[in-house]
């Protein structure tokens, strides 16, 4: 079984192990308010990076489906969106933990928090929509169009709107980004591998989901 794991999956295993161990044990900057909670930077932020990349991949496959009507592209899009939703939910939960420590409460109605929650609900609606349509081709077309619309709404809501309003998040609403005050060389040694590791993990899970969906399709068409 291990022989079937391609090289990037081995890279994922190594990076995730490194992130989990180094993220909890390596030295960090000693900052007021953040203290040990700054280690969440290795988990919360890379999850959001990975989620965004997965949503982008889902969008690409939805566009490919609209151009060539290949059901495999629709199944890829659905698999990426599903894993992105799971990773985004984990990102919200880890962000709530961080907010409780640094901002004083689990939920602060911060623009980025609210936008993230709305975005996850949109992609949950995408999956619900898929489940509500029995015809495979019609479901693929409707889901592909919905995916394009949701992505076009979600990305500005997460990356543009918070920068135009008051936001507690670093890099938004006039607040300095992490690079400006606490992402020093020590943290970069873990942060960047963590981003790659979480993203590869997302692609790995999406690949597993895609193969499961193909099996379901074959069973459906072959009876």
Residue 203 above 70 pLDDT?
yes
Length of the chain: 223
Q: Are 54 and 84 in contact (CB under 8 A)?
A: yes
Q: CA-to-CA distance for 56 and 98, rounded, in angstroms? A: 26
- Mean of per-residue pLDDT scores for the chain: 82
Residue whose pair of structure tokens reads 């400006």 in the numeric block:
180
**pLDDT surpassing 90 at residue 84:** yes
Q: Give the whole-angstrom CA distance, residue 148 versus residue 164.
A: 24
Band the pLDDT of 186: cuts 50, 70, 90.
confident
Integer CA distances (angstroms), 168 to 124, 135, 161, in order: 26, 45, 13
The confidence score (pLDDT) of residue 143 equals 94
Helix-then-strand count for the chain, H and E: 8, 0
Residue 4 has pLDDT above 80, yes or no: no
Q: pLDDT grade, residue 2 (50/70/90)?
A: very low
Task: Work out the burial of residue 81: count CB atoms within 10 Å of its CB; fewer than 13 is exposed, 13-18 middle, 19 or more buried.
Answer: buried
Q: What are the backbone dihedrals phi and psi of residue 174, each rounded to the nearest 5 degrees, phi first?
A: 90, -5
Which is higher by pLDDT, 182 or 190? Answer: 190
- C-beta of residue 144 within 8 angstroms of C-beta of residue 77: yes
What pLDDT band is residue 1 in, cutting at 50, 70 and 90? very low
CATH numbers and ranges of domains, the chain = 8-222 (1.20.120)
Structure tokens at 151: 């992505």
Q: Answer whether 120's CB lies under 8 Å from 85's CB.
A: yes
Share of the chain above pLDDT 90, in %: 42
In angstroms, the Cα distances linking 73 to 59, 78, 109, 157 are 10, 9, 37, 26
Mean predicted confidence (pLDDT) in 80-87? 94
R_g of the chain, CA atoms, integer Å: 19
- pLDDT at 38 (0 to 100): 74
Non-local CB neighbours of 60 within 8 Å, separated by 6+ positions:
none
């Amino acid at each position: 079984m291990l022989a079937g794991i391609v090289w990037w999956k081995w890279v994922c295993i190594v990076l995730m192990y490194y992130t989990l161990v180094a993220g909890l044990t390596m030295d960090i900057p000693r900052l007021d308010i953040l203290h040990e909670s700054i280690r969440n930077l290795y988990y919360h932020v890379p999850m959001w990076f990975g989620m965004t990349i997965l949503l982008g991949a889902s969008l690409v496959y939805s566009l490919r489906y609209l151009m060539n009507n290949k059901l495999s592209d629709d199944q890829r899009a659905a698999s990426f969106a599903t894993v992105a939703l799971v990773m985004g939910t984990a990102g919200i939960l880890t962000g709530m933990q961080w907010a409780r420590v640094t901002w004083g409460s689990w939920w602060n109605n911060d623009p980025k928090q609210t936008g993230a929650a709305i975005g996850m609900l949109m992609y949950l609606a995408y999956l619900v929509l898929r489940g509500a349509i029995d015809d495979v081709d019609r479901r693929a077309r409707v889901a592909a169009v919905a995916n394009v619309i949701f992505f076009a709404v979600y990305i500005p809501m997460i990356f543009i709107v918070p920068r135009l309003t008051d936001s507690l998040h670093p890099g938004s609403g006039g607040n300095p980004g992490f690079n400006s005050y606490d992402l020093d060389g020590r943290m970069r040694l873990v942060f960047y591998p963590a981003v790659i590791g979480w993203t590869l993990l997302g692609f790995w899970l999406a690949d597993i989901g895609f193969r499961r969906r193909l099996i379901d399709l074959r069973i459906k068409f072959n009876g």
